[in-house]
Amino acid sequence: METLTTVEAVRAQVRAWRAAGVRVAFVPTMGNLHAGHMSLLAAARFRAERVVASVFVNPLQFGPAEDFQAYPRTLEDDEKLLREAHCDLLFAPPVSEIYPDGGAQLTIVTVRNLSGMLCGQFRPGHFDGVATVVAKLFGIVAPDVAVFGEKDYQQFIIVRRMTRDLALPVEIVGAPTVRATDGLALSSRNRYLSADERARAPAVHQALQQTIEQLAAGSRDYATMESVGWQKLATAGLRPDYYSVRDAFDLQSPRANSREVVVLTAARLGRARLIDNLRLALRP
């Protein structure tokens, strides 16, 4: 695996693969890789002959009071894991390569409506930062297919919509959430949890599972299910930002004809903000 840091070098390599008729898959990340990322790499490997990963902690998607400076940067470990996962190329640019004008990025990609709800209400501008950098990375890497984790379900839906709205020639694939044995979704931010907080964190998955069981049993009283889920998290000592049942396709409130629903939550626990979701197909 080669590590490249410039747009030009990545373009040259991908161009050479394309000339040889090879399919390219892309896994964008912010590094500090764990088993969740490895599953994205495996999904990418399955879909193309060449796999490109990026490691870039994107300043544009962090709010002024958020953890951009503290975000774990572990490039050497990441390179080792990517090599083991048979990644072909790592793009690990400095901030100046992606934002050459020192942050004066005049073009911002906004996916209206979807970006302002749920996490977007609590992290203003976050999804604009995500959509902008993903569009930019697609422009640089020019992949045939890109893989995103379904743990960040709102991000996945926003990227899928952005790609469709801008007619970008990239197939967007979602990969299932990878969990610890006690149900906690793997995330780079789990390292912010103390031992006591880590012991309480599985309450997130337990609450979501309970809601899914109620939905599967036929309940459609979303407001009650949401407040029960919220309470379950509060009782475990978490501070939920939201706990919501939505249509899994467009993240609007479920409708009579919704075919699949998703239960999404974000909750604060110490320094960490845990996000997670579970989906359920509804019988017609």
Question: Which residues contact ligand PAF (rule: CB under 6 A)?
Answer: 28-30, 58, 61, 130, 133-134, 152, 155
Token pair of 191 as six digits: 């390292």
Whether 59 contacts 77, CB under 8 Å: no
Could you write out the DSSP letters of every residue in 172-226?
A: EEEEPPPB-TTSPBP-GGGGG--HHHHHHTTHHHHHHHHHHHHHHTT---HHHHH
Between 203 and 266, name the residue whose CB sits nearer to ligand PAF: 266
Between 110 and 206, name the residue whose CB sits nearer to ligand PAF: 110
Residues in Cβ contact with 173 at an 8 Å cutoff, skipping those fewer than 6 apart: 43, 47, 145, 146, 147, 148
Q: Is 77 helix (H, G, I), strand (E, B) or coil?
A: helix
**Shortest spacing between CB 234 and ligand PAF, in angstroms:** 27
Measured in residues, the chain has a length of 284
Between 138 and 230, name the residue whose CB sits nearer to ligand PAF: 138
Token pair of 113 as six digits: 């409506």
Calculate the CA dihedral of residues 34, 40, 45, 50 and round it to 10 degrees: -90
Q: Which residues are catalytic?
A: 37
Whether 65 contacts 39, CB under 8 Å: no
Residues in Cβ contact with 225 at an 8 Å cutoff, skipping those fewer than 6 apart: 211, 214, 215, 219, 245, 263
Whether 247 contacts 255, CB under 8 Å: yes
**Shortest spacing between CB 159 and ligand PAF, in angstroms:** 7
**Shortest spacing between CB 56 and ligand PAF, in angstroms:** 6
**Shortest spacing between CB 243 and ligand PAF, in angstroms:** 22
Between 28 and 240, name the residue whose CB sits nearer to ligand PAF: 28
**Shortest spacing between CB 188 and ligand PAF, in angstroms:** 8
Between 156 and 230, name the residue whose CB sits nearer to ligand PAF: 156
Place of tokens 């699949």: 260
